[in-house]
Structure 1
Amino acid sequence: MGISQVTNQLEQPKLDLKPRLGLLIIGIILIGANLRAPLTSVGPLVASIRDSLGISNTLAGTITTIPLLAFAVLSPFAPKLAQRFSMELTLFISLISLTIGIAIRSFGGVETLFIGTVLIGSSIAIGNVLLPSFIKHNFAQNIGMITGIYAVSMNLCGAIGSGISIPISSLSGLGWPGALGCWGILSLLTIFFWLPQLRNQHKSIKFVQRETKIQSTNLWRSKLAWNVTLFMGFQSLIFYTMITWLPEILEQKGLNTHEAGWMLSLMQLSMLPITFIVSILAGRLKNQQLLVVVSFVLLIAGLLGILYGSTPLIPLWIIMIGIGVGFAFSLAMMFFNLRTQNTNEAAELSGMAQSLGYLSAATGPVLLGWLHDITNDWTAPLLMLVLASVIVFITGISAGKNEYVTSKQSKNPLFHS
């Protein structure tokens, strides 16, 4: 074989590389968009759903808790499914399941509400776990950039979901079922754009299986893995609890329903530039401990501001909480890749952290609803979120160290010559 033939073979794939990567990035963006909106759109409608179906605040809180429990139960199995069927096919099936769940949830009954919510939570659990690992596999040299892009997509659609839920539900005949059901359009669009990725599934299977043979990691014995897990869990607890109850907290402060809904959107919109910037910064810094400190300070200031500050400054407190959550969320996503050495480890750490992390996060909305029911006030619930922020700080300082979960002494070569 001549040199020119070898050169042609090496150069030929480059002709198709840019279109394939373009579709791949669009697919990642769209999957990210589906990982928040079907859940965040519920928060502003909780009171309407509760009154319409005649359920208690505690039971209403489970509408957000059920997906978190699904995350906890299914997250450990997502890497196994990807190894068996490929990441591309597993993500595709999860999108189909998500669309079915959104449709069932929109029927308007108590039973269908919770059945659909279980399907939605189960589907999103797969995407939550596999997408960071998928990014590490396909964009090893640009993890921070692509993670930032997908995080922005996730939070942007989450913010839109919170903001438009009340206006859509107010349209003639739609109500809360129509406001929740409209997100099925987005999931259907994502299925269409993800179809081309199914052609790459056999390559993905071989890649993951090869890494699995090279190294089997017992993350349950890793102190660093446990810190990443707790960091993931408590930052999620803060976010999903705020998504569920922030509108009602603000209504008690004097805001009307529409204003409270848009404040929830403001919290998520303030996360957008942060999730992109922090992802890139985290990938370039030697360790991420300073970013953890910034997140902690902002969360504490925002929560105490809502609790004790003046009503005119509520937008400021909301923005601070949004930025703080944005810092914490971006760091959690980056820890899956920065604290691991290959795609398989990233998937395993993501599965462990999201399983146990979301299990702890699932207690948040229900516990706050219960505390509010017995105290008829939001002071104790907000103080509980302050305590959660302290735990985020403690675990984040340890998770931000420049180490790998596989070895206490192993340093990340990306930051050493």
Structure 2
Amino acid sequence: MTTPRRSGNYKRSLWDDEYLQSISSVYEGEESIERARELKEEIEGILEEKIMGKDSILGQIEFVDVLQRLGISYHFKGYIHTIMEGLFSAKDGWVSTDLHEVALKFRLLRQHNYLVPQGIYVSYICSIFVSVLWKSGIIKRPFASPFKFIRRWDIDALGHLPDYMKICFFALFNFVNQHSYDVLKTQGFNIVSCLKEVWANLCKAHMVEAKWISSGHTPTIHEFLENGLVTIAGPLVSFYLYICCENPIEEKMLKDFIQVSDLNRCMAIAVRLMDDLGTSPDEMKKGDVMKSIQCYMKEADCSEEEARDHVKYLFHETTKKFNRAMLSNSLISKDVVESFMNAIRTAQCMYHTGDRYGIPDECKELVLSLILESIPLA
């Protein structure tokens, strides 16, 4: 007897090859490349002037903030590092009577992994509120087991898989081997065994969810998150981010990413929770596994609204843990840590108003405006 496969009933992707090839940009060609080079040199000149003392600290950090918001700060890492080092070294410069300046200094220093006492910011905020209050006078499936085949990493085992899995396994086999070859060629390090393990762990975690669906089991929110941080591909993504951003690669660090360290664990849980908040209603209609919201509803015998509030609380607490782990980190490079932070930000962008990933129309305008449309200069 053949059991019909479950379908997520996702809409067809808008981003097929024909559509992508039809998209054009006015910023193609040698003329635009030359103009980009000129603008980069112009900004470098501005930064040099600011660093040489021709602008205030506030002017410097506001310019850094603009570059970061435009997504081009990576072109000027050296200059930005000099500005942030100068700001951090001049600890008396952290204090200001301008709330905007204090908040911006605090945020940028934290973003660049400088350990700034929170009290500097909080005490200023408190003093403002105290002043205002005082003046106001109111201080009173049957499922095959793909992870076994991935662990074996044997292309001859293909014949033992169902037809619908053969293409997936073959594509994964080729992808992992090609990526491993590229890393071996550029860094002299063989990562095949590590990649096999993170991919197998992902498949294994999805099998756990499949068994929950099949048996009708509702896990506790703790059980769900321990498995969910893997099914959201947290360890897998963080592993790829490490090998893409880091050179040279260290074997110990690879093992840490496979086992899930504090930083990538927090990143994965934060993305998982934000995903659940945005996709839970639609995915439950499709018969998907219960998300953290439904797990907590059953566990705490509470309403959906109360459960959503609890998941939001968990998200904020997880990001706090991430910030603490980031500030105490001394092993992982700044580029890798920043990519983890950006994963959380991207999750917020994709899911804070709904499911921009699973519903293509929700995301189309965002993608076009981000990648193709020019930013108004006035």
Report the TM-score when normalising by structure 2: 0.27
Pick the structure with greater CA Rg.
2
Q: Larger % of helix: which? A: 1
Report the TM-score when normalising by structure 1: 0.25
